[in-house]
Structures are given as C-alpha cells and as structure tokens.
Structure 1
Amino acid sequence: MIPDTKSNWLGTLRHDVPASLVVFLVAVPLSLGIAMASGAPLAAGLIAAVVGGIVAGSLGGSAVQVSGPAAGLSLVVVDLVQTYGWRATCMITLLAGIVQLLLGVFKAARAALAVSPAVIHGMLAAVGIIIALSQLHVVLGGSSQRSAVANLIELPGQIADLHGHKVAVGVLTITVLALWTRMPKQVRTVPAPLVALLVAALTAWAFGWDVTRVDLSGSVVSWAFPVLPQGDWHMVVASVLLVALLAGCESLLCCVAVEGQHAGRRADLDQELTGQGVANMVSGALGGLPVAGVIVRSTTNVQAGARTRWSAILHGVWVLVFAIGFGWTIKLIPLEALAALLVFIGVQMVNLGHIRKVHGHGEVPVYVVTMLAVILLGLAEGVLAGLALAALLALRRLTWVTVAKRQDHDGRVHVTISGSLTFLGVPRLTRELRTIASGAAVDLDLNIDFMDNAAFEAIHSWRLDHERMGGTVDIDELHDEWYSLAASGARMFPVKSPPKAPDRWWLPWAHRRRPPAAPDTAGAECRLTAGAREFHRRTAPLVRPIFTELARKQQPSHLFITCADSRIVPSLITASGPGDLFTVRNIGNLVPRRGSEPHDDSVVAAIEYATQVLGVHTITVCGHSGCGAMAGVLSAGVQAGSLPGLRRWLRHGDHSLARFIETEGDRLHSGALDVLCRVNVQQQLENLRTYRKVDEQVRAGKLALVGLFFDIGAARVHIVPPLRPPFSALGEERGSQAGDGRTMSA
C-alpha cells in the first residue's frame, strides 16, 4: 500500500512540530547547564544538542528518543578536559563514536542490556550528587573543588562567606523550579528550566544585581579540528571505551524505557547504537559534547505528543537556529542560575523510584556500592566495583543450595536438595547431610540443574558412608540424571540443564517426564496403577495430614455440578483442595427439572444431600467450550447416533435449546455452540430453582447459585450471570442474556 504522503505531513505538522518546540525549550537550558558542569565551552552543549537531534534523530532506531548532551557523562568529560584539554576530549568523543558505530554494525546492542540497571542507576545517582555538590559552590558565589569529598569539606566555609546577589539568583532559580511542579497543568506546558532561567535573568537585570554572566564568546561559529590526546595510549584507549560504553548503555536503556510510553514503531537497538555512533563522530568533529539518549527530553517528547522521528530532528533545527541567530541572548543568563539548575537536576538524578525497584530484587548493595565508589574513587572505578559486586551476587544466587529435611513417623527421612550443586555449596551440603542419623532410611530427591565433581563426590561419599553404617539411600532425580551419569562414569553435560517442571499431578500422562506405562495385552501395569504408585511415593506423604483430618468428617462448602468431559478438572480450575467441593459430573452438566422425564434420581439425590445434610453454601454449575453434549442438543439428537441412553439423557437439555432459540435464534453464527453452552449453564441454574428446598434457601439468602463457563482453549473461567436475581419469585421477568459475564483467570 502506498503511504498517504499528505496525511503523513499533516500528522507531522499537528503532532511533531509542537512537540519539537517543547523539547527545544527544555533542551537549550539543560544543554548549557551540562556543558557548564562538564567544564567544556558552553557552546559545546548546544552543538551536541543540534547533532543529537538532527543526526541521531535521523539515523537512530527509535521514533521518539531525543539525544543530546547527558548529565550522566559530565563527570567523565570533566576529567578528560582536565587531563587532555578540550580539543583532545573532542577527539576522544569522535573515536568513541567509531566504537559505537562498529558495535552497532556487529549487532552488539543487546549485550549492553546485560549491565545491571542497579549499576547504571547507582552511577547516575552518584553523578547527580557530585554535580549538585560542585555547582552548589557556584550558587553560593564561590568555585567548585576537584572532587566531591573536597566540595563537601569546603561547603561550610562557603556557606559562611555568602555572596548576596549571586546567592539570591541561585535561590530564586531553585524556588521557581520547585514551585513550577505545583502549577496547573496548562501552565506547566512551559518547561520549568526555561521559566526559572527567564525569571532569574529578568530579576537580576531589573534590580541590577551583581552576578556572573554567561558568555559564548562567538564559539558557536568558531571551529578547530580535534587533536589527538597526548599521554599514555593505554589510558586514552580506556577513555575512548569508557565514553563509548557509558554513552551507549545510557542511550539503549533510555530507548528501552521510552518504548513503553508510546504506541508507535518499535525501536531497533542496533540501529539506535549505530545512529548514536555517527552522532558522536559528528559532535566530536564539530567541538561538541558526547551525545547520548536523554530520558528527560525523550519523556518530554512523548508527553508532548510526538509520533515520529521528525520531532527530535526539528528540535535540533530549532536549537541550531537559536544558537546562530539568538545566541547573544544567552549572555543575559546569570551563571549562578545555570548552576542552580544543575543543583536541581543533580538532586533529581537520585531517583527514589529506582531504589525501590532494585530493593525488590535484592540489588540495593550494588546500587549503594556503585554510588559510593563513584563519589569516592571515580566513575570508571565505581562502575567496575558495581559490576564486580553484581557478578558476585549473581554467582551466589546461581550456586545457592537449599536442603529441606522431613522425617516421617516411621523414622524414614525425606531430603530434597534444590539449586545448582557446585563446590561453593559443598560445605552447606555436607553439614546438612551429616545431621541425618546413622542407619536411617533416606529418600533423597535431587531437584538440581547442575552438579560439578566436588558436589558429586560430597553426595556419593556421604551415601557410601551412610549405607556402610546400615542405612539406605534411595536417590530420585527430578531433572537430568546428573548423579547417575557421574556414578556410572559417563561424560557429564557441559552446561546446566534447562529447567524442567517436575512431574505434577495435573499434567496429562503424555506430558510427564516419565509417564506411567501404557496398558497392553500382555497384562503390564496400567497407567492408573502406576499413577497410584506415584501418588504413594510422591504425593501421599505431603497430603496425609490433611486426609487424616478429613477422614473423620467431610464439610464441603460447595456443590459443584459440571460436565463429565475429561478436560474439566474442578479442583484445578477453582484452585480448591480435598474436602472443598462436593462434585456431581454428568454429560452436559445437566440438572433435570423436578418431575421431568426421563426420571433421574442421581442428580436429585446429590442436591438433596448437599443442601440438607452437608449444608453447602453455594451450588455451582460449570459448563465449558465445545461441549459435545450441547452439540448433540443443537443437532436435535442427530449427533447422538445409535446411543439411545444418551439421546434420552439429552432431552434434559431441551429447555436450554428452547431458550437459546428464543434469545439467539436470529443470530446463529460459527460460535453458536459456545453460546448454547453458556445458555445451558443459565438454564440449569433455573432448573435448580424448581426444587422447593433449593428455592427456599436461595430466597432466604442461605444458598447462592453460581454459573461458570470454562474456555478450554484459553484456559480461562468466565462467570455466567443467572437469568434472574436470587431473591426474585419464579414467575418474575427474566432479563439477563448469555455471554455477558465477567472473566477471571483459570
């Protein structure tokens, strides 16, 4: 299909152009502030914003991500500028772009997502703290120190020696930024950073305050080609890789985060990394800061209604027009106001939401160690420390071993070992096994996905010693037979076996790990007998206490009437257990009306016993999709064939068929059978009301009638509403139709 070009341009004008203007208003002050925090020329921030918007926006793989100078990279740039100088830093940025381009070409983008988010969030929090501490000195009228620790030590003296006008501008900027979030939504369409800088500039100009002014000094239009860094080439290579990896990871994580905020075309991460690489090459060549995807600008872009990459591209165009045509206005901005903006941004980078997320996965130590190490040691050292701790924690989780022991009344000990058995778990494993009394009969279940030689030797040696002392050990492996293979001297698997669900009672025989033997003419054990043996061995010890209690008396709370279809397992689809359901099963989940022919006492007897002896609180009728009985009813008994008993029984479904024809007869379609199955559930609830005792209890509020419909293919249970309210008389109007029930997960 040929795209409608006119429609595309109208969509761009309607959605992307307004969004680009909003992002532009956010990008200009942030770009200036990040350049200031990076120790680079202020124009470098605007150059990076232009290149990030136009180049990365055009070539990247995301439709809505906005790239530009990132606060998370400012700490690296500061160190590079102080070590190599600005023009050499630009060359490092260019070389980092080449590395990113190659990584994107070789499809390595997904590998960057292997970095623990706790490391990234901890790094960004540390960078935010460092930025806030350093720029706070500027707000107070002084100058920032070389390290975060030095800034913290010098802070009390800086506070004692306040510079009036400069402090006032900084406090005013932070106040506007803080209060702007409380403004009405219509007012907040104007970005807070822009408003704060405008208020600070106008106030300083109106009152003639003595503040430091921002000056681009014509650097927007001046250009000099980057130079190669001088010094140890090992450190230069490490710097290039650090910039490439940090900018790439931040861009890809930002891309993934923004994907969940829009419904447009999904991002291509390798293409995004390639686009970021080209953008960094261009930015470095033009004298700009390193470029990365920025979450603040990207989120603003989505919230402003952007649909395509044109918003990011146009925002870069607007920054370029502003820098060339209106750059002179920047000198009206007080430097202290930019510093205050950076303090505010730095504090926001310590995101409590990130801490809550990593806490839920037990990764707070990684977050804290990364943050403290970055603050105290440096960015590269902090990231490496965080990655090392994350790897150690992952190794600990992968090699964690659990040993559960239980002893029966007859003295038999059941032991279950779960996890990955490696040499790291041997001390715990041997300690637990040696607590088992000598001479005991032991059932040892190995629920493991890996076993190395050290773990095998530990278990095997214990087994030999235990059997030598008169005990017995029966080993059963729920996954691949690691122990058996090792004991036989066979070659072990090179990797962990994929997790497989152990045998479960609810799995069909054909889906079991080791299905019971099928019956044959030679009289081999049938599956039911083998299943009973499996129950005795695995399940009976677990449920014996429950059945011992139930042996005295049953007290079910529900009478559950459902079809005899083999695919319906009441306890499975209702998450119930022994003693919960008093169950009646027949073909078609039918409840013969009182006095109907052919006469049936089986269902009536169950209803009487359940309501008058057991005192159940609920009677549930559960139908299901594709019911063969209802197919027979729908065919007027033709599908029952030469089964006279079945044809007679299906007469009890005539009322369901009549109601179906009455309500759905003019809308017959391919799904008519399932509609009849739902109508049949409603009709059986009506049939229950023909029994006087049932109707009296329903009227008195002592008994509830519930209809369920199990969609087999979707494995979902739907609630089918009754045809009338429970407290209405038998002759009242029936208003509800089949199929309009609620749904719940099965």
Structure 2
Amino acid sequence: MSSDTKSSRLNTLRHDLPASLVVFLVAVPLSLGIAMASGAPLVAGLIAAVVGGIVGGALGGSAVQVSGPAAGLSLVVVDLVHTYGWRATCMITLLAGVVQLLLGVLKAARAALAVSPAVIHGMLAAVGIIIALSQLHIVLGGSSQHSAIANLVELPGQIADLHGHKVAVGVLTIAVLALWTRLPQRVRSVPAPLAALLVAAIVAWAFGWDVTRVDLSESVTEWAFPVLPQGDWHMVVSSVLLVALLAGCESLLCCVAVDGMHGGRRCDLDQELTGQGVANMVTGALGGLPVAGVIVRSTTNVKAGARTRVSSILHGVWVLVFALGFGWSIKLIPLEALAALLVFIGVQMVNLGHVKKVHGHGEVPVYVATMAAVIVLGLAEGVLAGLALAALLALRRLTRVTVLKHADRDGRLHVTISGSLTFLGVPRLTHELRAIPDGTTVDLDLNIDFMDNGAFEAIHSWRLDHERMGGTVHIDELHDEWYALAASGGRTSPVKSPPRAPDRWWLPWAHRRRPEPPRPLPSDDETAECLLTAGAREYHSRTAPLVRPIFTELARKQQPTHLFITCADSRIMPSLITSSGPGDLFTVRNIGNLVPRRGTEPHDDSVVAAIEYATQVLSVRTITVCGHSGCGAMAGVLSGGVQAGSLPGLRRWLRHGDHSLARFIETEGDRLHSGALDVLCRVNVQQQLENLLTYRKVEEQVNAGTLELVGLFFDIGSARVHMVPPLRPEFASVAARPLMTADD
C-alpha cells in the first residue's frame, strides 16, 4: 500500500467518518419533516437523502456539499402531488434531472448565478413562512389549510381550540430546539433536531400522551415505476423546468456559499449541476423527493471537519442502513413533534442576515416583493415577479447619472458626470447642465463607461449653446473617448470597456494643470491645504470609484509580501518605481533609509518595531532597502555632520550612517571625487542590508531561506532603478537577478 493511499484512508477515518455521522443525525429528522411538508410519503424523504448523499456526493462538483431533500422545493412538490399524484410527481423529478444533466453538459451552470440572490432569499423566506403557518396548525392539533392566507385566517380559531397533549408535544419540541444552542458544547454535539424529536418521543411515551404517531407503512422495497403526468403538456413542461431550475439554482448558490467555508478544492459548478441531474433522475425513479444542495447539512458537514466527498457519501449510506434496519423506530415520533420541527425550520428560513446583505445593496424591495408574491400568488409567480423587479432595478442603476459640481476660487466650475449615459438619463443631464450660469468656465469630467447618441446630443448641444453665450467648456474623458469619437464622426463600440486609472495621477501638483488655459498656482496667501483638498476631491471623483473594490477586499486584513525601507525624500515614490499596488508593500521611510544596528545609540524603536512586525506578524518574504542619488542625508554623513547645521535631532540620527561612511572610506580611501556622494549612497544601501542581519529573527529567516534581502538604488535624474549587489557572497543569488546594473 502506498503512503498516499494510507494517508488518504487515515484522513477519511479521522475527519470524514465522524463528520458523516453528524450529518446523518441531522439529515434523518430534516428529511422526514420535508417529506411531510411536501405532502409526499415520508419514506420519499429518506430515499432523497440516500440518493443525494451517495449519488450527488459521488458525482457532484463540490468536495463538501451535501445534497438531499430541500425545504425550498416543498411548495412545488405539494402542488405537483395535488395536481398529478405522487407517481407522476416522481416522473417530473426524473425529467427535471434530465434537464439539469443537459444544462451541466452544455456548461450552463454559470448562468444560474445571474439570478439575483435577493430573489432566492426572498423565495426561501416565503417558503419558510408558508411551511411554518401550515405546520403550526398540526402542532395545535388541527390540520393545515390549502394556502398560506387561509392558514393565517384560521389560526386564531385554531389557537382558541387547543388540543392538550398534542400542543404540549409541539411546544416541548420547539422549546428544546430554541434552548439547545445555549447548552454546554459537549451536550450540543448531538444535533438539535434529533435531540428535540428524541425528547418529544420519550416524554410522550413516558406520560402516555394522546398524540398522533408517524405512519411509515410504506416500505423502501414496495416500489413502482413513475408514470407520465396526465393533463396539459404545457403545464407539465413548465413544472419540469421549474423543478430543474429551482433545484439547480439552490444547489449552485449553496455551492458558492460553501466554497467560502473551507480551504479545500473549489467547486466545479458544471460538474455539480451534472451530478444533481443524475441524482434527481435516480431519486425520481426510486420514488424520492427532488434533491438539491442543502445549506444546513453542508454547513454542518464543514463544521464537523469534513475534508472530501467521502463524508457526504457515507452519510447517505448511514441513512440507508437506518431506513432498512431501524425504520420501525420512526413510528415512535409524534407527528406533532415533526410538525414543530418544521415550524422551527420555517422560521429560521427567514434569515435576517440575508435581509442585511440585500439592504446593503439596495435590494430589499426585490426581497420583499418576491416573498409577498410567493405567499399570495404562488412559487412560480412570485419568483417571476421578483426577477422582473430585479431586472427593472438593475436597468435603473445602469442608467443612473450622477452630476457633481464644485466651484473654484478663481470662478472655474468643475462638473463631474458619472454613470452610463443613455437616452434615459437625458432629462436629468439636461436639467443639471442648463442650470450652469452663462459665461462660466467649465471643466467637464466624463467619468462614464458608455454614451449613446441621445446623451451625446444632449451634452454637445449644451456645450455649443454655452460657448455661444460666452462660456468655455473643457471636456476631459477619464476612460474611453466616447464624446471625442462621436464629435469627430467616428463609430463608438457598443461594448463597455473596463475602466482604466487616470493617466496623470502621478504628476506633481504643479504639472497637473489643464493645458487650455494654464491655471495659476496658489498665491502666497494660499497654503498647501488647498492643494491637498483639491487632490482629495480629484481622488474621490476619479480614482476612488476605480479602486474601491480593491480596498473593500483589503479592508479585512493586510498581507504585504515586501518590507520596503526607503528615504523620506519627496522624490521617491515606492509604488511608482516598483509598479506595486495597494497592499503590496509594507513601507518604512526615514532620513537616509537607515536601519539602526541592534543595540546601537541613539536607540530607535520605530524602525525596529516595523522590522519585527513585518517579519514575525506579516511574514514578509523580502526586505528591500532603497537608496537614491543625491541623498541629502548621505551628504550630511559625508561632511561629518557639518551640513546638519543646527539640527541636533538630525545630527543624532545621522550617527546611524557612520558604518556606511567607514565602509566607504575603506573602499574608496581618501579620494573624494565628483561622484563620491552617489557612491556613498550605494554603499549605504549595502551597509543597511548588513545592519538588518544584526537582528536575530532576520538572520534566522535569511539563513532558512524564507526571507530575502534586496538592495535598490533609484537614480533620480534618469528615473532608473538599479539593483545594488550585496556585500556578502552568499547573497549572490540576489545580485544575479538585476533590474539594471550600475553600467546600464
């Protein structure tokens, strides 16, 4: 036996086997409850759990997702059973599996992700409310009505006519479910649904309560092949597509959610859809409920430590063993306890976390509309209503136009237009532009990703009128030149191009002036604050929309790979000369890019703290020391501190450059030539790399090969970056990869 095979088996025994048992304990009561809510034989829920676990787990595209009967499909199944009968419903499930299989083969899984999550969450919340209302009647000792509205209307009368023992069992079950999460961890190792049903069954048996028992007279062995539905074939086809699409969407969205819970292999969505299709074909043929990826069981599987699909497959095997060998024990469960479990599940399906998420994106109307329409009109009608509203809101956002105006002290007006400019935004656009006073000098920034002819005509017509009345308009397009091409008669592409960053962000303020006409620099009484404020405004209008997605992701944590130590000189821009972006460099800047040797005076905790944090917390892989030509700090070191003048703090700090000066004198002797300063600047970089090795952790990581020390030299006059070779031969690998040598 190979070591890999042995390791795989040990991994299964250690992680997947225990996880499969936990999922099995959750799956059995949930499968029975969903079958009951679906109006199907209870054994159909167990069949779906077995097939979803074994077939879906073996053929699906996710390593840890668990498939089985889904509460979100129960309303569809109830309606199908009522309309066509159970055996015909099984045939619809089988045909829905064929549709899913074909969609998976055709690589159409990604299209399902285009469905707004607000619609899915709203649908599931509505299904939860409907299930809770219908099963609440059973908990209270009565029977559910034909619709959610009827159940709601009949509820007061049902509460007034309580049935003692039956109500007690239901209340006991809900109480156990609600309190279970507050018990000690050791007790909570038993899944709450299983514990609630066990407590309810034991108490009802011990006190001899008069309750309704679960009827599991159907046997897995009593099987009949599904029959074709009778009736309008248009409705049959619609039913097949509805089951296929709802089950597929729920599975794929569950897949995406579960991928964020574990660090293993990512899900193959097309393979998952194919596996779900085969599973639905098998469960339909065997007389089971439709299956889909289920978030409750999948989350339980991940939290229980599952690593591979073996856990899902084994959970299906355990359900099969239970159904064949211990199915008789299900008769001990009170029907009211099972109904109470469904009430609890239904309430949990109204997830406030989902409401917060859609609220953050302005999609609460879609969520609420879908939920209300499903409750009042039906599942298919509600989903279509939600999709229609989501499409309308998306169209509205797509055509939303933002016009921002800001006046300078010199009377110039800055106008920024953002969004997609189509004919739908022309009324707002025209209103804002016509409000600009005649004779004003206007800087118009077009921060847009599309412009149709209607929008172009509106802007161009306003521009001509404004210039005719003595005003001036300077148009600057931050992305593709939609306006310029249209004005020149060129043909614009209908395809939106990805935004690109403004091409002048790196220019100094003094150079970042529009060429027509040149704008004056701030007068003497104006401070740099106005430049910073103007720069911040420019950042918000131009750059912030482009980089916001990056910073939203980086807001969670920083993971830089490089510690970059460089001079505080204003001409050095680390991100510019290394072409790095946000989150790449952990930067330390000081006068002369100095690294104080460990234990030297004057003591400096700032640089030391940065080195410790970068190497021991952030685990950077490279420390770079970057010097530059004409460094004033090195000029001060070269002058023996004379050039520091009456700056005592600077003189003390420059003592950390004494080792650089000593090494320079050692290599150059007493010869001082015109290029001596830049030579010292390069030697200083080499010396600071040596100083880094005086820190024990740095030296250990360098020797272990987990940390690399790199020297750079930026020649300001030529705007070129050179690699600085290290002093020690063992760092020759670093010097072997120069960007530019000293001779370039």
CA separation of 1:25 and 1:562: change in aligned 2, threshold 3 A? same
Partner of 1:615 in structure 2? Answer: none
Q: SS state of the match for residue 491, structure 1?
A: coil
Partner of 1:92 in structure 2? Answer: 92
Verify: 1:265 aligned to 2:271, yes or no.
no
How much does 1:466 deviate? Answer: 2.1
Q: Report the Cα distance in structure 2 between the residues aligned to 1:487 and 1:283, rounded to whole angstroms.
A: 63
Partner of 1:599 in structure 2? Answer: 640
Verify: 1:130 aligned to 2:130, yes or no.
yes
Structure 2 counterpart of 1:490, one-letter code: G
Partner of 1:708 in structure 2? Answer: none
CA separation of 1:621 and 1:165: change in aligned 2, threshold 3 A? farther
Partner of 1:41 in structure 2? Answer: 41
Alignment of 1:159-198 (within 5 A): 159-198=159-198
Structure 1 counterpart of 2:297, one-letter code: R
Q: Report the Cα distance in structure 2 between the residues aligned to 1:153 and 1:94, rounded to whole angstroms.
A: 36
> Which range moves more in the overlay, 120-129 or 359-368?
359-368
Alignment of 1:282-681 (within 5 A): 282-506=282-506, 546-547=527-528, 562=568, 566-568=572-574, 587=628, 591=633, 598-604=639-645, 607=647, 636=667, 643-647=675-679
CA separation of 1:252 and 1:632: change in aligned 2, threshold 3 A? farther
Q: SS state of the match for residue 219, structure 1?
A: coil
CA separation of 1:620 and 1:80: change in aligned 2, threshold 3 A? farther
Contact 2:247 2:292 in 1 (8 A): yes
Contact 1:40 1:86 in 2 (8 A): yes
Contact 1:121 1:354 in 2 (8 A): yes
Contact 1:63 1:265 in 2 (8 A): yes
Contact 2:70 2:293 in 1 (8 A): yes
Contact 2:592 2:632 in 1 (8 A): no
Partner of 1:740 in structure 2? Answer: none
Q: Report the Cα distance in structure 1 between the residues aligned to 2:686 and 2:285, rounded to whole angstroms.
A: 83
How high is the TM-score relative to the length of structure 1? Answer: 0.77
CA separation of 1:632 and 1:486: change in aligned 2, threshold 3 A? farther
- Deviation string 1:505-550 (CA, Å, 9 cap, x unpaired) is 3279xxxxxxxxxxxxxxxxxxx99656669968969999653779
Q: SS state of the match for residue 491, structure 2?
A: coil
Number of aligned residues: 635
Partner of 2:276 in structure 1? Answer: 276
Contact 1:252 1:273 in 2 (8 A): yes
Contact 2:644 2:650 in 1 (8 A): no
CA separation of 1:165 and 1:655: change in aligned 2, threshold 3 A? closer
Structure 1 counterpart of 2:639, one-letter code: P
CA separation of 1:3 and 1:642: change in aligned 2, threshold 3 A? farther
- Deviation string 1:691-723 (CA, Å, 9 cap, x unpaired) is xxxxxxxxxxxxxxxxxxxxx99xxxxxxxxxx
Q: SS state of the match for residue 100, structure 1?
A: helix
Contact 2:641 2:654 in 1 (8 A): no
Q: SS state of the match for residue 195, structure 1?
A: helix
Alignment of 1:2-13 (within 5 A): 4-13=4-13
CA separation of 1:569 and 1:122: change in aligned 2, threshold 3 A? closer
How much does 1:504 deviate? Answer: 3.8
Q: Report the Cα distance in structure 1 between the residues aligned to 2:321 and 2:581, rounded to whole angstroms.
A: 64
Partner of 1:557 in structure 2? Answer: none
How much does 1:601 deviate? Answer: 3.8
Partner of 2:218 in structure 1? Answer: 218
Partner of 2:732 in structure 1? Answer: none
How much does 1:468 deviate? Answer: 2.8
Contact 2:93 2:290 in 1 (8 A): yes
Structure 1 residue runs of 5 or longer lacking an equivalent are 509-527, 552-559, 576-580, 612-617, 624-628, 681-711, 714-746
CA separation of 1:542 and 1:48: change in aligned 2, threshold 3 A? farther
How much does 1:258 deviate? Answer: 1.3
- Deviation string 1:456-492 (CA, Å, 9 cap, x unpaired) is 1111222222233333322222222211221222222
Q: Report the Cα distance in structure 1 between the residues aligned to 2:86 and 2:515, rounded to whole angstroms.
A: 74
Contact 2:635 2:677 in 1 (8 A): no
CA separation of 1:340 and 1:649: change in aligned 2, threshold 3 A? closer
Contact 1:630 1:677 in 2 (8 A): no
Contact 1:591 1:652 in 2 (8 A): no
Contact 1:406 1:414 in 2 (8 A): yes
How high is the TM-score relative to the length of structure 2? Answer: 0.77
CA separation of 1:414 and 1:164: change in aligned 2, threshold 3 A? same
- Deviation string 1:555-596 (CA, Å, 9 cap, x unpaired) is xxxxx9636874448999999xxxxx99889848685799x7
Q: Report the Cα distance in structure 2 between the residues aligned to 1:568 and 1:535, rounded to whole angstroms.
A: 32
CA separation of 1:561 and 1:104: change in aligned 2, threshold 3 A? closer
| Percent sequence identity over aligned pairs | 72
- Deviation string 1:277-312 (CA, Å, 9 cap, x unpaired) is 000000001110000011111111112221211111
How much does 1:329 deviate? Answer: 1.3
Structure 1 counterpart of 2:334, one-letter code: P
Structure 1 counterpart of 2:485, one-letter code: L
- Deviation string 1:624-653 (CA, Å, 9 cap, x unpaired) is xxxxx9999699569x99933444677878
CA separation of 1:314 and 1:538: change in aligned 2, threshold 3 A? farther
CA separation of 1:608 and 1:283: change in aligned 2, threshold 3 A? same
CA separation of 1:44 and 1:631: change in aligned 2, threshold 3 A? farther
Q: Report the Cα distance in structure 1 between the residues aligned to 2:531 and 2:358, rounded to whole angstroms.
A: 45
- Deviation string 1:9-56 (CA, Å, 9 cap, x unpaired) is 222222222211111111111100000000111110000001001100
Contact 1:563 1:622 in 2 (8 A): no
Alignment of 1:697-712 (within 5 A): none
Q: Report the Cα distance in structure 2 between the residues aligned to 1:344 and 1:392, rounded to whole angstroms.
A: 34
Q: Report the Cα distance in structure 2 between the residues aligned to 1:332 and 1:543, rounded to whole angstroms.
A: 91
Q: SS state of the match for residue 182, structure 2?
A: coil
Partner of 1:14 in structure 2? Answer: 14
CA separation of 1:410 and 1:566: change in aligned 2, threshold 3 A? closer
How much does 1:660 deviate? Answer: 6.0
CA separation of 1:548 and 1:74: change in aligned 2, threshold 3 A? closer
Q: Report the Cα distance in structure 2 between the residues aligned to 1:107 and 1:496, rounded to whole angstroms.
A: 25
Structure 2 residue runs of 5 or longer lacking an equivalent are 533-565, 584-588, 594-626, 714-720, 723-744
Structure 2 counterpart of 1:547, one-letter code: A
Partner of 2:251 in structure 1? Answer: 251
Contact 1:177 1:193 in 2 (8 A): yes
How much does 1:159 deviate? Answer: 0.3
Structure 2 counterpart of 1:229, one-letter code: P
Contact 1:561 1:619 in 2 (8 A): no
Partner of 1:578 in structure 2? Answer: none
> Which range moves more in the overlay, 388-397 or 151-160?
388-397
Q: Report the Cα distance in structure 1 between the residues aligned to 2:232 and 2:315, rounded to whole angstroms.
A: 39
Q: Report the Cα distance in structure 2 between the residues aligned to 1:45 and 1:631, rounded to whole angstroms.
A: 83
Q: Report the Cα distance in structure 2 between the residues aligned to 1:476 and 1:647, rounded to whole angstroms.
A: 45
- RMSD of aligned residue pairs (Cα, Å): 4.1
Partner of 1:31 in structure 2? Answer: 31
Contact 1:561 1:620 in 2 (8 A): no
Structure 2 counterpart of 1:350, one-letter code: V
CA separation of 1:470 and 1:590: change in aligned 2, threshold 3 A? closer
How much does 1:622 deviate? Answer: 13
How much does 1:112 deviate? Answer: 1.1
- Deviation string 1:125-156 (CA, Å, 9 cap, x unpaired) is 11111100000000001110111111100000
> Which range moves more in the overlay, 209-218 or 565-574?
565-574
- Deviation string 1:103-142 (CA, Å, 9 cap, x unpaired) is 1111111111111111111111111111000000000011
Contact 1:418 1:447 in 2 (8 A): yes
